[in-house]
Amino acid sequence: MGETYPFTIEQFYRFVGEGKLMGAKCGRCGGIFVPPRPLCPKCQSRDLGWVQLKNRGKLLTYTVIHVAPEEFQQMTPYALGIIELEDGVRLPGIIRGVKHEDLRVGMTLEVDFDTANIPSKWPQWPRYFFRPTQTI
């Protein structure tokens, strides 16, 4: 794990395709960041390793998209949010499984993965999404 995988967004999506949400963790300052970059954005260290991110977090902000790029237009309207995971990483993602009028800033969401209905052309639809947690 770690050093053998490049710190790129392509590799991030490859992990997502395997059902894993991974980020880059800096060995010097301990910062975790997504999308991965070959340099730590905080201290410029190259001492990085992949870590699996927490699957749960809370909704920081969201917006409902009505007009999307052509390849995603069939999915509109959809909710796009920024979720702060339990390890402090902030990640954008589509929110499903909840009515848009029931979305609340601060609500707990968890990551789920999608293996179907993926447009094959770039930009790829992210293969992860967020949904309300099953346990309340």
Q: Is the peptide bond before 123 cis (omega within 30 degrees of 0)?
A: yes
Instruction: Give least dist CB 88 to Zn ion, A.
Output: 14
Q: Are residues 26 and 40 in contact, defined by beta-carbon separation less than 8 angstroms?
A: yes
3-state secondary structure of 17: helix
Which CB atom, from 9 or from 43, has the smaller least distance to Zn ion?
43
Contacts with Zn ion by CB under 5 A lie at: 26, 28-29, 31, 40, 42-43, 45
Indicate the residue among 28 and 104 with the shorter CB distance to Zn ion: 28
Q: Give the Cα separation of 134 and 136 in Å (integer).
A: 6
User: Residue 41 or residue 77: which is nearer to Zn ion going by CB?
Assistant: 41
Closest distance of CB 85 from Zn ion, Å:
18
